[in-house]
Amino acid sequence: MKNRNKSPNPSKILVIGFAVLILIGTILLTLPIATETGESLPFLDALFTATSATCVTGLVVVDTGDTFSTFGEIVILSLIQLGGLGFMTFATFIFIILGKKISLKDRLLLKEAFNTTSTEDLATLVKRILIFTALTESIGATLLAVRFSFDMPVKQAIYYGIFHAISVFNNAGFDLMGEFKSLTNYVDDPIVVLTICVLILLGGLGFIVVNELYEYRQTKRLSVHTKIILSTTLILVVGASFLIFLFEYGNDKTLGPLSAVGKALGALFHSVSPRTAGANTLSISDLTHATLFLTIFLMFIGGGSGSTAGGIKLSTFAVLMVTALSQLQGKEEVVIFRHRIVIATILKALTVVISGLMIVVIVTFLLSITEHGHAFIMYLFEATSAFGTVGLSMGLTPELSPIGRIFIILTMFIGRLGPLTLGFAISKNQRKDAFKRPKGNIMIG
């Protein structure tokens, strides 16, 4: 007899929720009022844009600033905010305002959405997330608006400041600069570059990490997870900035013509943006192959778990790197910051990486079949950008065929939710084996 009171599958509800949000966004973007010309946007273009916004990616088949009206841009911005923080965050906030009790089902959904291991005190966490988000985006919007006001009317500068602050904090690559040029005009502007870099990093650390940093005054303690995220972020930002500075130093189409400070700002921005904001101050198609390969690597890694960023996540990458190092050193245990990492965590990390690699490889292969006349690295770059929900492109996105756009739409959806979440959503509950099977010895390496 089936158990009718069986607990809900949080993963399945999250998948359905994101799909419904994308559908609503698609319908709104097909309305004539959503475009500058007053003509309805083709359904596939609207679906691509809505998916990209909800999955906080930023890949576009039509230029945002030139194509959409203010109404359409607000729809996109709303999808970015809802997709970045998660619709469950806002639903919980509404419950709190109305004084309703958060049920166990809602706690399980929040636990899945934030990728945390506990369901305790999630209401307080949601409040802090929304306050932190509002405060951070407001400060970022103010700084950007002040800077933009020197280049455009004040009213437009304020609007641009708000739009870009929300977009980059949620690690989405949407911009209003027109003609697919993103922020290339501000490559050596310290206010724009540093403000956006800080917004990207704060949005990509993960809300659990930010909450621990906030509580550090009382606890004087950081978890292993937070230490991993902070240290790995620092290593990747510093290391990637240095490498990009070297790779692009003599490139006349990127860093070459800039001053020393401009070169440093350009390198810094491009080391931060691929994880996974999608804004760019350097022309992606003009980057050297070494920088493009490094960018693909950074896009695949992404940001922190439970953040607005995509990718396999920083903690996943760190766990596998330390595991490999431990094996090479002949150690039996994997230790990070004096804590032993259990085998279940290592296996989960390995599953995420292998699943991500398979998705990128398959999509790259499919794009190489459906799209013609482009270099192979463009297919790999596009597939990785979609999976990592980054939004950077070498120019292939607007030229994608209808079937190619569908492949990228699915990849963005999978990348935002994560392979494990989708896997748990479509799989049936499996019972644990009642007995242990004999061990199988396999030669490795």
State the average pLDDT for the chain: 86
User: Contact at 8 Å (CB) between 298 and 287?
Assistant: no
* Global model pTM greater than 0.75: yes
Domain ranges of the chain: 10-424
| Residues present in the chain in total | 445
Q: What is the per-residue pLDDT for 1?
A: 43
Of 147-156, 260-269, 332-341, the poorest mean pLDDT is in: 332-341
Cα angle value 280/86/413 (rounded, 5°): 65
Model confidence band, residue 53 (pLDDT cutoffs 50, 70, 90): very high
CB 23 within 8 A of CB 79: no
Percent of the chain with pLDDT over 90: 58
pLDDT given at position 14: 75
Residue 94 pLDDT more than 60? no
Task: For residue 2, name the pLDDT band (cuts at 50, 70, 90).
Answer: very low
Stretch 264-290: mean pLDDT:
92
pLDDT at 184: 86
Q: Is the per-residue pLDDT at 237 higher than 60?
A: yes
Mean of the pLDDT values across residues 251-277?
A: 93
Residues 109 and 103: their CA atoms lie apart, in Å, by 10
Three-state SS for the chain is: CCCCCCCCCHHHHHHHHHHHHHHHHHHHHCCHHHECCCCCCCHHHHHHHHHHHHCCCCCCCCCHHHHECHHHHHHHHHHHHHHHHCHHHHHHHHHHHCCCCCCHHHHHHHHHHHCCCCCCCHHHHHHHHHHHHHHHHHHHHHHHHHHHCCCCCHHHHHHHHHHHHHHHHCCCCCCCCCCCCCCHHHCCCHHHHHHHHHHHHHHHHCHHHHHHHHHHHHHCCCCHHHHHHHHHHHHHHHHHHHHHHHHHCCCCCCCCCCCHHHHHHHHHHHHHCCCCCCCCCCCHHHCCHHHHHHHHHHHHHCCCCCCCCCCCCHHHHHHHHHHHHHHHCCCCCCEECCEECCHHHHHHHHHHHHHHHHHHHHHHHHHHHHCCCCCHHHHHHHHHHHHCCCCCCCCCHHHCCHHHHHHHHHHHHHHHHCHHHHHHHHCCCCCCCCCCCCCCCCCCC
Distance separating the N- and C-terminal Cα atoms of the chain: 48
pLDDT attached to residue 96: 56
pLDDT at 121: 64
Lowest mean pLDDT among 125-134, 140-149, 357-366: 125-134
Average pLDDT over residues 215-225: 88
pLDDT at 127: 81
- 191, pLDDT greater than 70: yes
Token representation of residue 10:
């949080």
* Whole-number pLDDT of residue 425: 59
Choose the most confident range, by mean pLDDT, from 27-31, 209-213, 279-283. 27-31
Provide the pLDDT for residue 369.
95
**Average pLDDT rounded to a whole number, residues 160-187:** 87
pLDDT tens for each residue of 370-403: 998 899 999 999 999 999 999 899 989 999 999 9
